[in-house]
Structure 1
Amino acid sequence: MDECQAASAPNTTLGTQGDLQGTQGDQGTQDLNKTLTQDTNQRVEEITPSEAKVSPHASSVRAEAREQNGVQREGKKEGKGEESDEDLRKYNKKIPEERSAVKKDEIDAHFDRLPWVLGALGRILNLGISYGPQFAPVDIPLNRRKQTFAVLFWMSTFLFMGAGSLLLLLYIFFNTQYWWVSLCYLTWFIGDRTVCNRGGRRLEWVRRLPLWKHYRDFFPVHLIKTAELDPSKNYIMGYHPHGILSAGAFAHFATEGTNFSKKFPGFTPHLLTLEGHFHLPFYREFFMATGAVSATRESMDYLLGQAGSGRALCLVAGGAKESLDCQPGSVFLHLNKRKGFCKMALRHGASLVPMFSFGENEIYDQVVNPEGSLVRRLQNALQSFFGLAPCLFIGRGVFQYSFGIVPFRKPIYTVVGAAIDVPQVKSPSKEQIVALHERYVQAVVALYNKYKHKYSEFPECDINIV
């Protein structure tokens, strides 16, 4: 399978000393200043969007009338669905050249020429970059620092909260006189371990923390509604692609950062994820407080089988396996063997809603790991054993742009497609499941092809279903 590669950045190197030997006197100085100004302006126009020259998707969003619910809208005649032009301008305003995404492009152009081991070491040590270390400017606005903190907090909870809490409880049990604290938590966990399969334990004040607004604005993340959903029904909403950590899915369904409840009134959102996340002490409590539950049959049966309606279950259908194929500039969706959610939809008569999140694959780099390589074989073995995919991802740091766990500032556009109505069949046949699955896959492909030229950074890339 071919992967689309991003076009190499244009050469914007200033003229060499030899090229300027003919410049003399005041006239020469003026010519040189004019050349530098023109080249700098050209560089800024190439890297950052502006009102006069923007990327294809931004131009389409800002300048063209957009379609929602089958109605063409212009100017301020915006509904509550797709984000208004004013909102998108606020999020995607012209950003200075220091933005991490710009530095990412420059650093990638340098390190991609090296073997990945040397490239990773170079990023860690910040070596071999001809234009010097890429540290964050000291005078970054406070609001942008809040955004970075919000994303760092999210990453830290995922990477460190669970493992750190487990080590802390073990230390308290074996090395302090407060061993009973660990024993009390163990007792609590044993009795509470299945709550992730019984609707979880959501706390609205956690979902509505101001922190999540800063998290949204960091990338920024957009939730784009293209069709109305009936709150008298239940829905299984498929999120594609998985990305490294499904940053967009977390923003939409585990927080109110993108105002999901206002755009889809009458719905109770739930983010479905691996059950293993709810086996980690303290992290499980935090994650369930956001409305997250396990992506198991028992969990979906409980939520969809309860009396009432308006439940929106976000399922990242590709799973952990798909995250290993998430590379910038490529789209691989693991759907051919993922038919269980179609069976669940038929059993409960829950409508299916395809979603595609443009930019999800671009917020992190990942070590090249083609099928059959040593890296991929090790990842597959660990994924089969632990359930979690050990992605070797590369982001930026907090105070420098070369290496770290913080994602790059790349916009994420999550487009919510029209619902596929599903009749209730208590015992669906294999043929019914396959037919619904084919219909859903076609809807995902159609959604991607319809909006890729508007929102994708790599609209030339084809979608691959594996």
Structure 2
Amino acid sequence: MGGRPAPARLPGFVVIASFYTVWLFSIMFTFLAIPAWLLFGYRLPVQFLVAYYFVRMFWRPAHWPAFHQFASRLINRSPYFNSQRLIFQSEHAKPPPNSSTLFAVFPHGALCVGWTVNLNLSPIMQAMQVEYLGASMLFRLPLISEVLTWASSSSASARNMKRLMKTGKNLALLPGGFDEAAFYRRHRYDVFVRHRKGFIKYAMQHGYKISPVFTFGEEATYFALESGSDFRRALAKKKIPGIVFWSRLLWLPDPNIDLVTVVGDPIEIPHVAHPTADQVDKCHANFVAALQSIFDTYKADYAGSPHATIHIH
């Protein structure tokens, strides 16, 4: 494609360009509104935000299946990337709706491309009625919060996650979050999970199975600044994105890659209402081993080398 969308990919390009433009614009608009007013006297952004949050006191967006399915059809009929593939380790990795399965997805990458394209916009995943849990901050911002909610997503807050788990709904989560994004390096496989145990504990408490999910190609979607890593990771710990990234298409991911997401078989873990730290540690170790196994099993085919290494932080 030479950095430009071919005509056959145009519908998929529109989906990706629209989504990531709305995402980044929502963040910049919200956080620059007050400086624009104080420094330049430009009040319209602040006035819009006041009106928006007033309306949100009385109205909340809801899931919109027709919108979600329409976006899915566009990007699957006219792929944005060279290839977009969703692979299941076996039929056991395809749970029916409301079967208490948690898909733990890695890596986060710069902008969760595998999560967006191969999972959220997959008709197979939609048939499983998966709810996608994202950063709580995004569900407080105008525009992007509506788009995410329409596409079967909601906050990854502990309160919301526990509420959904009580219903047995299938869920997808990016456990690495901002911390994992801060580790992003082009052509490196980095995941942040060694100290992420909360999702294991919640799964044990609510009787959930956990499927490890890994996307090959996420590491090639963007270039990223590598200097200042300590500072950027410190920002991530405060829930502030600690990554500076770009591509040949500026803020859009590089389309000239093969994006392959592998969904592993679910790990059965004990249902324990009040798990001890040792019980959580044991289940967490089993999960990390399963994630490593998924990577090792498929890396020769999709990482381009049987010697590729995953860095687990």
**Which category of TM-score, normalised to the shorter sequence, fits these structures?**
0.7 to 0.9
Q: Distance in 1 between matches of 2:240 and 2:191?
A: 17
Residues 305-332 of structure 1: per-residue CA shift (max 9 Å, x gap) = 12xx4x2211111111111222233222
- Aligned: 1:461 with 2:308: yes
Q: Distance in 2 between matches of 1:156 and 1:458?
A: 33
Q: 2:172 maps to which residue? A: 314
Q: Distance in 1 between matches of 2:72 and 2:125?
A: 17
Q: 1:287 maps to which residue? A: 148
Contact persistence 1:166–1:281 (CA under 8 A): no
Residues 351-392 of structure 1: per-residue CA shift (max 9 Å, x gap) = 0101111111111111223xxxxx22332343344x132311
Unaligned runs of 5+ in 2: none
Matches within 5 A, 1:184-263: 184-190=51-57, 201-210=62-71, 213-214=74-75, 217-219=79-81, 220-227=83-90, 228=92, 229-231=94-96, 233-255=99-121, 258-261=122-125
Rg: which structure is higher? 1
Identity %: 22
Q: Distance in 1 between matches of 2:267 and 2:273?
A: 18
Question: Does the residue aligned with 1:390 lie in a helix, a strand or coil?
Answer: coil
Q: 2:218 maps to which residue? A: 360
Q: Distance in 1 between matches of 2:102 and 2:267?
A: 10
Q: Distance in 2 between matches of 1:330 and 1:206?
A: 34
Matches within 5 A, 1:32-431: 98-100=1-3, 141-164=6-29, 175=43, 183-190=50-57, 201-210=62-71, 213-214=74-75, 217-219=79-81, 220-227=83-90, 228=92, 229-231=94-96, 233-255=99-121, 258-261=122-125, 265=127, 267-306=128-167, 309=168, 311-369=169-227, 375-385=228-238, 387-397=239-249, 404-408=250-254, 409-431=256-278
Q: Structure 1 residues 189, 461: CA separation in 2 closer, same or farther (over 3 Å shift)?
A: same
Contact persistence 1:353–1:417 (CA under 8 A): yes
Unaligned runs of 5+ in 1: 1-97, 101-135, 370-374, 398-403
Q: Distance in 2 between matches of 1:313 and 1:352?
A: 10
Q: Distance in 2 between matches of 1:441 and 1:149?
A: 36
Q: Distance in 2 between matches of 1:145 and 1:261?
A: 23
Which one-letter code corresponds to 1:224 in the other structure?
I
Q: Structure 1 residues 392, 344: CA separation in 2 closer, same or farther (over 3 Å shift)?
A: same
Question: Does the residue aligned with 2:231 lie in a helix, a strand or coil?
Answer: helix
Question: Does the residue aligned with 1:223 lie in a helix, a strand or coil?
Answer: strand
Residues 178-221 of structure 1: per-residue CA shift (max 9 Å, x gap) = x6x755432233456xx7xxxx7211012112476337711132
Q: CA deviation at 1:344?
A: 0.4
Contact persistence 1:224–1:414 (CA under 8 A): yes
Contact persistence 2:103–2:213 (CA under 8 A): yes
The higher relative CO (CA closer than 8 Å, separation ≥ 6) is in 2
Q: Structure 1 residues 289, 442: CA separation in 2 closer, same or farther (over 3 Å shift)?
A: same
- TM value normalised by structure 2: 0.86
